[in-house]
Chains A and B, each alone.
Chain A
Amino acid sequence: MNFQINSTSDLKLTLSLIKQYIKNNISDTILMNELLILVSEIIYNIRKFSQEGTVDISIKEDYFFIKAKDNGKGFAKKTEQSILEGYSTANSLGLGLPSIIRICDELEIITSNTGTYIECGKKLKC
């Protein structure tokens, strides 16, 4: 599933579509909620920090993948702080990135002053 996020996107709608997709493939509610948090954090970060971005979600061989890209300013200069809880440059609680780190199994981020690319993977079965 592919989504475009920009300042006018209806995020609630996007998230409910994603929820449906996840529900159709996963029955474990805890896992489902974790995935929703993951997706939601990523999408809201795109909205908060950049004009637009894209999100790609797929389920392959027991793994849930989400790849997101935005054209914001990135956080290359503040990576040390950004992974700590409580740090926020957008007047919010600062729990987004640390939560993403905690929830996903595989995580790669490339951030520069022209945008951020994030790739997360989460194992679906223990």
Chain B
Amino acid sequence: MWEKIEMLDFKYCIKPFISSDTCGDSAFFSKCKDSYLLFIGDLGGHSNKELSIISSEIKKSLEKNKEKNIYELFELINNLNGVKEYGLAFFLGRVNEKIEILQYIAIGNIKLNLLRKKNIKNLKKQDGFLGFQIPENIENNLLKLKNNDKILICTDGVDSFKDKIISFLSLHSLEESVKYISDKYSLKKDDALVSILEFKQKETFNNIEIPTFKREEIHFNTISETAYENHVNTEVSLKELDKSYFFSSIDNSLNSREKLSQILNYLNFDSLKYVKVKTIILEVLSLSTNKFDIYISTEVLQIKTLIKEVFVKKLTPIIGLEKHFLDKEKNLLIINYPLSNKIETNSSKHNKLKEMINLGLDKNSYKMYKIDEEKNRLLTKQSKLAALGEMIGAIAHQWRQPLNELAIRIQKIKYAHKNNKINDSYIKEFLKENMMTIEFMSNTIDDFRNFFKNEKQKSVFNVRTAIEHVIDIQTCQLNEHNIKITIEGDDFDIYGLKNEFMQVILNLINNSKDAFFKNKIINPMIKIDIRENKISLEDNAGGINKKDISRVFEPYFTTKNTDENTGIGLYMSKIIIEDNMNGELKIENKNNGIEITILLGDIQ
């Protein structure tokens, strides 16, 4: 292990204005546990006994607290009464024994220079004066030191020497150099302090460890390859958690990283475990493109991914001693993390969080999403009720005539009986006619009932047949208004929700029917054309007003006046076609009416 041995030397020389016990300039250099602390101060004024007392105070405070951070030392000094009274310009710095960095705070009129390789450069410091004008933000500076660097720190009682001293310094010792500068450049009108900090570095080969921040919990586990073999091929194999515990998937995308953070925060992992899990997942993802599946049971977090054995071996140092198992046949890596708190996987809190994380939403967006979802659900319910209302109207309408027929025939019995017409053939005829009527009424109920079943299962169905079915149900109404309906074209099957599709067609036909009535159209006609994946419905009902046509798909928008018209029909139809069936629903004015086009996607 290459070690850099640092050697710091510090020499200084003070020329007080009058005497050393009235001098406001001071220097303090001390070895601490792992570092060297350096302080140079210039109290405001000179020829004052107080100043040297305050300087001693500062040095005492530094000596007492020298292991503290520079920032804390600065605060201590800043709070001394003497400093507040007279003001202080200062340099406070530290060099760690083994890291070649000079860290310092320097405020005020102190001359700060770096002499490196025959070049003099000003080092950064802040303007101000402790006690009078403290900078708002205290800057801490870090400077990487190089072998033979010399830091020159002088108080303002020393005139600037620029680069005139370079040659002298390169040929003389530190002590001589300090004396030289002091003799030649100290101004007679003030206390003057000249100091030089010299940094030397030697590289040697040594078995020394790198200084680290003592964090007890980190164990660096190194597992040799044989140990790995033993570790992974143990009899104890990890069982995959049941699919119902699946929570989410993590892949290489940016969103996934957010997801992962959300999940680990939810599980309340302490920062160390958090980093470990995150590191493993991200390292694996950088090696392979497969995603990680995250399973959460009441007591365990299980992460799974497909990954080749050769990669798992590379990752052993990172996975360490976590319980993990590689199914070599399936190339499946499973790692289990026991949870510190039990998770209720059935609670609504858990499921809501799962939905939120998988949608990639934050708390607020998720709230809005749920509100929207509820709104849509209510809207669907309303629309169904409205459609139901329409259907009940249709049933009533469909039954009115048959009921009349039944009533008439039943009443006729009285007269038939009076006139002795009731015989076997009369009874036979009577039964036949009435049963037919009753069957017709019964079929109506079945038709409507099937129509209304809440269908969640998609199926393959024939479009033409479905449309014809709807027309059948509507026959009485259509005939009453003399509406001619034709179906033309090819035919095709689609995969979707049959009943919902039929609801859409019903809605469209009803809309046309209402328009025919409102506009008193003489020869009402609906033409339905079926092509591959495209259904169009044309009518001659007079079309829609230009100002309204862009709004017809809005919920609650209606151009009809009657109370029954809720304005939900086209909105729901659009949702059914576009969201549930991945299609498109368009409406345009054409000729004397409108043309509605339904485009349907391929079978999925």
Contacts and interface: CB of A to CB of B under 8 A. Distances in A.
B70 A86 contact: no
Which of A76, A80, A107 has most chain B Cβ within 10 Å? A80
Interface string A84-126: 1111000111100010010011111111111000000000000
Interface of A: 10, 74-81, 83-87, 91-94, 98, 101, 104-114
A108 B116 CA distance: 14
Contacts of A79: 69-71, 103, 140, 142
A78 B69 contact: yes
Interface in B16-75: 35, 69-72
A114 B94 contact: no
21 contacts: A77-B72, A78-B71, A79-B70, A79-B103, A80-B35, A80-B69, A80-B94, A80-B103, A83-B96, A84-B96, A84-B99, A84-B212, A84-B213, A86-B215, A91-B271, A101-B101, A106-B144, A107-B142, A108-B124, A108-B144, A112-B139
A108 B211 CA distance: 21
B274 interface: yes
A100 to B, nearest CB: 9
A83 B141 contact: no
Interface of B is mostly: mixed
Given A77-B71, A85-B210, A108 B143 contact: yes
Interface string B75-117: 0000000000000000000101001110100000000000000
Which 9 A-B residue pairs are closest in the complex by CB-CB distance?
Answer: A76-B140, A107-B144, A112-B137, A87-B213, A109-B142, A86-B213, A84-B213, A112-B139, A77-B71
Given A84-B211, A91-B274, A108-B144, 10 more contacts: A76-B138, A79-B70, A79-B140, A81-B69, A83-B103, A85-B210, A85-B213, A108-B143, A110-B141, A110-B142
A112 B140 CA distance: 6
Which of B124, B138, B141, B213 counts the most A-chain CB atoms under 10 A from its CB?
Answer: B213
A78 B71 CA distance: 8
Contact of A113 (B137, B212, B215): B137
A77 B69 contact: yes
A10 B254 CA distance: 9
Given A91-B274, A101-B144, A107-B144, A83 B101 contact: yes
A87 B96 CA distance: 15
A113 to B, nearest CB: 5
Interface of B: 35, 69-72, 94, 96, 99-101, 103, 124, 137-144, 210-215, 218, 254, 271, 274-275
Contacts of B254: 10
B275 A114 contact: no
Contacts of B99: 83-84, 98, 101
Nearest to A92: B275
Contacts of A92: 275
Contact of A111 (B101, B142, B144, B214): B142
B93 to A, nearest CB: 11
B115 to A, nearest CB: 15
A114 B275 CA distance: 28
Nearest to B103: A79
A103 to B, nearest CB: 11
Contact of B142 (A77, A93, A108, A112): A108
Contacts of A74: 140
Q: Could you say which of A74, A79, A83 has the most chain B C-beta atoms within 10 Å of its C-beta?
A: A79
Contact of B71 (A10, A76, A83, A84): A76
A110 B139 contact: yes
A68 B134 CA distance: 26
Nearest to B67: A80
A81 B142 contact: no
B275 A81 contact: no
A74 B103 CA distance: 14
A86 B254 CA distance: 27
Specify which of B70, B96, B101, B124 lies most central, judged by the most chain A CB atoms within 10 Å of its CB: B101
Which among A75, A93, A107 has the greatest number of chain B C-beta atoms within 10 A?
Answer: A107
